[in-house]
Amino acid sequence: MSQSIITTIDQLQAQFDHMRALSRKKPLNSWIDREALLDSLETMLAKNQQVFADAISQDFGHRSQDETNFAELFPSFQGIAHAKKHGKSWMKTRRAGISTLFRPAYNEIQPQPLGLVGVIAPWNYPIFLSIGPMIDALAAGNRVMIKMSESAPLFAEAFAQAVAKHFSPDMVSVVVGDVDIAVAFSEMPFDHLLYTGSTSVGRKVMAAAAPNLTPVTLELGGKSPVVVLDDADLENVVNRVMMGKTLNAGQTCIAPDYVLIHSSLHSKFVKLAKEWLLKHYPNIESNDDYTRIINDAHFKRLQGYLSPLPKEQVVPLTNVEADAEKRLLPPVIVLNPDPETEVMQNELFAPILPLIHVNGLRDAVEFVNSRPRPLALYIFGEDNKNIDYVRSHTVSGGVAINEVIMHVAQHELPFGGVGESGIGAYHGKWGFERMSHMKPVFVQSKLNAMSIMLPPYSNLFRKGLKYLTK
Ligand code: NAD
């Protein structure tokens, strides 16, 4: 029997078989069907906003309600609205160009649903990173199975219950449980598998998908650098970088990870960052706007990064101490850590901000290029020539100029990584196409020259070919 909430590997297999068979029998070819699914998604989200936000806050030990509204619910609603507005035109079969040699035949591209799409979601923005892939998959006419993160179990349960209420298990089902079921999930022969999470697990997911030749979109992590050019407005740099580092307590895939900036500006940066923190997060120990670290393992990981560093390198931005019991980690700056230390080897995913000395933009570009391709790169400065130099000499998933993070909220832009930060991109039309088969169709005309292209090959054929290949 089909079911919406999957908790065992046997159920997973049965539900997978059921949904896959349906995707072959009853492809969602009409916009009306797809729009109805997007409507259900919107209604589900609207009705469960508070339930979801509360569950997430409990999973985190406290997550700012405003952050959930701003960084999860708002982009999810926007994404649904965008897909509802444009989906009908995205799915239209359209003409493609054709060489005069083949005319009057014509070419078309026909977007088609892939069938059954698997989504593996992480804990850090569990609403947006579940809803976002679902929007694209459903708009493209697919059925969806989604595996929730075991690190946000209360949200996973609330989401599964909500989906069960608003969707038929023929269309969407939710898998909850730990890593064992996640592994089994990644081994299912989905028509497409979209995974969001760490690069190390991303490698395992791709390996699990390979025997099935399941195409993957891997939305991974990494260290996203900030390049501060000589003419940057430092106050603005600090304002934006600190915003990105404190939002969700730095637990954002595209949070600015470290800053490349001349050492003559380090002490001014620290001073401005302290002032910024006092202004925006007064009494941080009890400030509802400040989110906690997701679990003890991550809290310990971060303490393990900081504790081996020389004391003079670690600059707290407030007098409030870290509190392991509450998993409260006030922001700190790390001055010029050795590139071999853990803070510079691992994605931080925390309110820890290394400032690294660089001598000019070429030095900064060399630093970035000596490391894995980042998910995001941020450039602060005024001179367009210098900004262009950095843009065109680095390769990253995305770029924001004189800003951080906001590129993820642009439905007209693809979002994804490159190299170790990911494979493939989604959101809006890009996600629709990623989750569709963009099928090329050649339509022959009654009037055509194919008969001269048959053996025994004539002189006319040979002369014609010679002319065309000379
Ligand atoms: P996580 O621990 O919640 O794991 C993500 C998902 O992977 C979970 O659903 C989990 O069950 C599953 N999983 C775990 N082990 C697995 C395995 N062996 N096989 C298959 N699935 C498995 O999340 P996380 O990895 O801690 O998430 C944080 C990371 O995600 C960071 O690196 C961050 O940068 C990255 N991230 C990337 C994006 C993006 O859009 N590129 C967005 C958010 C987070």
State in Å: Cα 320 to ligand 1 middle.
30
> Which range of residues forms the domain containing residue 392?
228-414
Residue 120 inside a domain? The answer is: yes
Whether 293 lines ligand 1, by a CB cut-off of 6 Å, is no
pLDDT (tens digit, 9 = 90+) per residue, 218-242? 999 999 999 999 999 999 999 999 9
φ and ψ at residue 54, rounded to 5 degrees = -65, -40
Residue 449: pLDDT over 90 = no
The residues that bridge with 430 in the sheet, in sequence order, are none
Structure confidence at residue 52 (pLDDT): 98
Decide: 301 and 200 in contact? Cβ < 8 Å. Answer: no
Tokens standing for residue 11? 């159920």
State in Å: Cα 196 to ligand 1 middle.
5
Structure confidence at residue 14 (pLDDT): 97
71 and 195 fall within a common domain: yes
216 and 254 fall within a common domain: no
**Closest protein CA for atom 17 of ligand 1:** 183
**Closest protein CA for atom 22 of ligand 1:** 182
Residue 186 inside a domain? The answer is: yes
Mean pLDDT over 286-315 rounds to 97
The residues that bridge with 5 in the sheet, in sequence order, are 174
Structure confidence at residue 173 (pLDDT): 98
Structure confidence at residue 185 (pLDDT): 98
State in Å: Cα 202 to ligand 1 middle.
8
CATH number of residue 152's parent domain: 3.40.605.10
Whether 150 lines ligand 1, by a CB cut-off of 6 Å, is yes
**Ligand 1 atom, smallest distance to 199 CA:** 32
Whether 114 lines ligand 1, by a CB cut-off of 6 Å, is no
Structure confidence at residue 442 (pLDDT): 98
The residues that bridge with 443 in the sheet, in sequence order, are 106
* Among the listed residues 463, 258, 237, the one whose alpha carbon sits nearest the alpha carbon of residue 342: 258
279 and 365 fall within a common domain: yes
Please, which pLDDT band fits residue 2 given cuts at 50, 70 and 90?
confident
**Closest protein CA for atom 41 of ligand 1:** 219
**Closest protein CA for atom 18 of ligand 1:** 183
For all residues of the chain together, what is the average pLDDT?
97
φ and ψ at residue 162, rounded to 5 degrees = -65, -45
Measured from the Cβ of residue 54, the count of other Cβ atoms closer than 10 Å reads: 17
| Percent of the chain with pLDDT strictly greater than 70 | 100
| Percent of the chain with pLDDT strictly greater than 90 | 96
158 and 282 fall within a common domain: no
Residue 470 inside a domain? The answer is: no
Mean pLDDT over 199-214 rounds to 98
State in Å: Cα 175 to ligand 1 middle.
15
Distance from C-alpha of 435 to C-alpha of 425, rounded to nearest angstrom:
10
Distance from C-alpha of 131 to C-alpha of 77, rounded to nearest angstrom:
9
Distance from C-alpha of 137 to C-alpha of 38, rounded to nearest angstrom:
10
Catalytic residue list: 219, 253
Mean pLDDT over 316-323 rounds to 97
195 and 243 fall within a common domain: no
Structure confidence at residue 295 (pLDDT): 98
Residue 458 inside a domain? The answer is: no
Residue 213 inside a domain? The answer is: yes
Whether 219 lines ligand 1, by a CB cut-off of 6 Å, is yes
Residue 280 inside a domain? The answer is: yes
What is the residue type of 322? A
Please, which pLDDT band fits residue 357 given cuts at 50, 70 and 90?
very high
* Among the listed residues 209, 211, 187, 184, the one whose alpha carbon sits nearest the alpha carbon of residue 10: 184
* Among the listed residues 50, 19, 135, 221, the one whose alpha carbon sits nearest the alpha carbon of residue 435: 135
The interaxial angle of helices 128-139 and 31-60, nearest 10 deg, is 170
pLDDT (tens digit, 9 = 90+) per residue, 268-287? 999 999 999 999 999 999 99
Boundary of a domain, candidates 414, 429, 459:
414
Residue 464 inside a domain? The answer is: no
CATH number of residue 327's parent domain: 3.40.309.10
Q: Whole-prediction pTM value?
A: 0.96
Whether 120 lines ligand 1, by a CB cut-off of 6 Å, is yes
242 and 191 fall within a common domain: no
HSE-CB of 341 using CA atoms within 13 angstroms? 20
**Closest protein CA for atom 9 of ligand 1:** 149
Structure confidence at residue 450 (pLDDT): 87
Mean pLDDT over 175-188 rounds to 97
Count: domains in the chain: 2
Element (H, E) at 39: helix 31-60
Candidate of 149, 187, 195, 293 to mutate for ligand 1, largest count of ligand atoms within 8 Å of Cβ: 149
Residue 203: pLDDT over 90 = yes
70 and 212 fall within a common domain: yes
Structure confidence at residue 453 (pLDDT): 86
50 and 84 fall within a common domain: yes
249 and 299 fall within a common domain: yes
Region of residue 305 (phi > 0: left; psi between -120 and 50: alpha; otherwise: beta): alpha
HSE-CB of 190 using CA atoms within 13 angstroms? 29
347 and 427 fall within a common domain: no
Structure confidence at residue 468 (pLDDT): 87
Structure confidence at residue 85 (pLDDT): 98
pLDDT (tens digit, 9 = 90+) per residue, 11-56? 999 999 999 999 999 999 999 999 999 999 999 999 999 999 999 9
Distance from C-alpha of 353 to C-alpha of 244, rounded to nearest angstrom:
10
**Ligand 1 atom, smallest distance to 125 CA:** 43
427 and 357 fall within a common domain: no
State in Å: Cα 347 to ligand 1 middle.
13
Structure confidence at residue 457 (pLDDT): 93
176 and 247 fall within a common domain: no
Distance from C-alpha of 219 to C-alpha of 238, rounded to nearest angstrom:
27
Whether 130 lines ligand 1, by a CB cut-off of 6 Å, is no
Structure confidence at residue 375 (pLDDT): 98
pLDDT (tens digit, 9 = 90+) per residue, 385-439? 999 999 999 999 999 999 999 999 999 999 999 999 999 999 999 999 999 999 9
Residue 179 inside a domain? The answer is: yes
Distance from C-alpha of 419 to C-alpha of 85, rounded to nearest angstrom:
32
**Closest protein CA for atom 43 of ligand 1:** 253
State in Å: Cα 121 to ligand 1 middle.
7
